Amino acid sequence: MSAADSSLLRPKLLGPATVNVVVAVSVLYTLLPVLWLVLASAKNRDALFSSDLLSLSDFSFLQNLKDLFAMDGGLYGRWYVNSLLYAVLGAAVGALVSVACGYAFDKYRFRHKEKLFGLVLAAVMVPQTVLALPLYLMASEAGLVNTFWAVFIPVLFNPFGVYLGRIFARGYVPDEVLEAARVDGAGELTTYARVALRMLGPGLITVFLFQLTAIWNNFFLPMVMLSDQDLYPVSLGLYQWNSSASVSPEYYPVVIMGSLLAVLPLILAFVLLQRFWRSGLTAGAVK
């Protein structure tokens, strides 16, 4: 009996129409809340509470935008810059550090290598909330609590990036290239910086993107470390404004507008760097 026969005999539970409906419903599930955010950001406070999202009569997108950047003396702009600093700088440095380490794990042989790598993998498993209190106490000992560094240094640590870096080094940098460079008398680090790093480019961008997302999302660590509002990232700032909103509702429209703007950098990064992270996902999944 051929495939065509058997599917003719059975009722088509999973025919193309059903499949398309299931996928379409799932896409609506993921898209509609974002669409709500876009529509709600254009509403003033009264319209927000009337649940009447589609009427364009009280369109106040620009007014909300102006309010957002004027609220509390322009704090939001500061938070945005902070988030960009933590995330872009942190992800760039972190990705370089992790990929260099992953590359060394793949290309060099030394004693206890797999045990050390096991330690790196174990670090992937440890919940951040477990480390928060000791990190806070260490930072307070070092006088770093409530400074930029208290958030910036811990987020550089990305053991999963080392795992990915090792896989990328195996895949993208053939050992023959290193041998050839050695024969030419090039130093090991020069070879890494001039030859290998370029071949690792797509992998580096993948790790960067993963870490960018993680740091942009980070909420727990800044909440523990920072008390100065001027140092907050967007995530923590919006959390705080939202808690004020129950008392003073004028915060609602700015929280919504602020959320919309906070989504944009990651969308931009994912769209611009699409080519790279797709290959990265496969590398992470195939063990």
Partner 1 sequence: MTATTHARVPAGAARAASPAPSDSGLRARRAAKRRQLTAAGVLMTPFFALLVTVFLVPVGTAVYLSFFSDDQPGLGFGPERTVFVGLRSYAAVLTDPTFLGGLGTVALYCLIYIPLMVVGALALALLLDSGVVRLRAFAQLGLFLPHAVPGIIAALIWLYLYTPGISPVIELFAKGDITIDFLGVHTVVPSIVNIALWSNLGYNMVVFYAALQAVPREVIEASVVDGAGPVRTALQVKTPLVRASIVMVSIFTLIWALQLFTEPMLLSQSSPMISSRFSPSMYIYDAAFTRNNYSLAAAASVVLLVCTIALSYGVTRFTSRADSEEAR
- CA distances, 129 to each of 136, 145, 223, 224, 239 (Å): 11, 17, 11, 10, 18
CB of 42 to partner 1, least distance (A): 14
Query: What are the percentages of helix, strand and coil residues in the chain, rounded to 5?
Result: 80, 0, 20
Binding to partner 1 by residue 285, rule CB under 8 A? yes
Task: Note whether 89 binds partner 1 by CB under 8 A.
Answer: no
Q: Dihedral sign, CA of 217, 219, 220, 226?
A: positive
Specify the amino acid at residue 226. Answer: L
Minimum Å distance from CB 277 to partner 1?
Answer: 9
Kindly state the smallest distance separating residue 199's Cβ from partner 1, in Å. 15
Among 74, 108, 118, 143, binds partner 1 (CB under 8 A): 108
Smallest distance from the beta carbon of 129 to partner 1, in angstroms? 4
* Residue of 60, 82, 98, 206 interacting with partner 1 (CB under 8 A): 98
Helix or strand or coil: residue 28? helix
Instruction: Please tell me whether residue 49 binds partner 1 under the rule CB under 8 A.
Output: yes
Binder among 84, 92, 273, 284 for partner 1 (CB under 8 A): 284
Closest listed residue to residue 161, CA positions, set 116, 214, 198, 87: 214
Token readout for 205 is: 């961008």
Location of structure tokens 């509609």 = 32
Per CB under 8 A, contacts with partner 1 among 181-240 are 182, 187-189, 192, 213, 216-217, 219-220, 223-224, 234-236, 238-239
* Candidate list 104, 177, 195, 273; residue touching partner 1; CB under 8 A: 104
Q: Which two tokens stand for residue 20?
A: 């398309």
Interaction residues for partner 1, span 128-147 (CB under 8 A): 128-138
88 binds partner 1 (CB under 8 A): no
Dihedrals phi, psi of 59, to nearest 5 degrees: -75, 115
